Amino acid sequence: MADNTFHVALYVKDIPQAVEQYRKILGLEPAKVRHDYAKFEIADPPVILSLNRGGRPGTVSHLGLRYPGTGNVASEMVRVKGEGVPFFGQKGATCCYAKADKFWVEDADGMHWEMYALLEDAEAQTAADPELRAFLGQ
């Protein structure tokens, strides 16, 4: 479990303004910046902080865990399925300027969790999967 990284995605009003403020707060440079997205990778504690446009600024978009490999994602998906938790699986999904194998779950209070393994960076945002949007209630 120590190789997993916590992920939190926040909605922001203005990406450049948010990036500048988080540079000051965290004392580090973002790992990725696009016009509608930015990502900070914090080493200690291991956290991936993503900043997203599109929702109500100042709120959490979703939480998650990044696993070290696709095998971890597959075994966790099997475990979650065995627990009877509804999930939405995606192989090779492109979102947030990255390609990943992932699955989504929802906690008892409606918070969405993205459980994923990064495959590679991508040039496209493409988070428009209609089935995912239905699962997330968007």
- b (16+ CB within 10 A) / e for 39-59: bbbeeeeeebbbbbbeeeeee
- The pLDDT tens digits for 68-107 are 999 999 999 999 999 999 998 888 777 777 788 999 999 9
List the domain range (segments joined by +) for residue 22.
Answer: 5-136
pLDDT at 1: 41
The pTM of this model reads 0.83
> Where residue 131 sits, what CATH number does that domain have?
3.10.180.10
Give yes or no for residue 18 having a pLDDT over 60: yes
Cross-strand partners of 113: 63, 105
> Is residue 131 scored above 90 in pLDDT?
no
Q: What is the pLDDT at residue 86? A: 93
Please name the residues in contact with 130: beta carbons below 8 A apart, sequence gap of 6 or more: none
Domains: count for the chain: 1
Tell me: the pLDDT tens digits for 38-77? Answer: 999 999 999 999 999 988 999 999 999 999 999 999 999 9
Question: What is the three-class DSSP state of 26?
Answer: helix
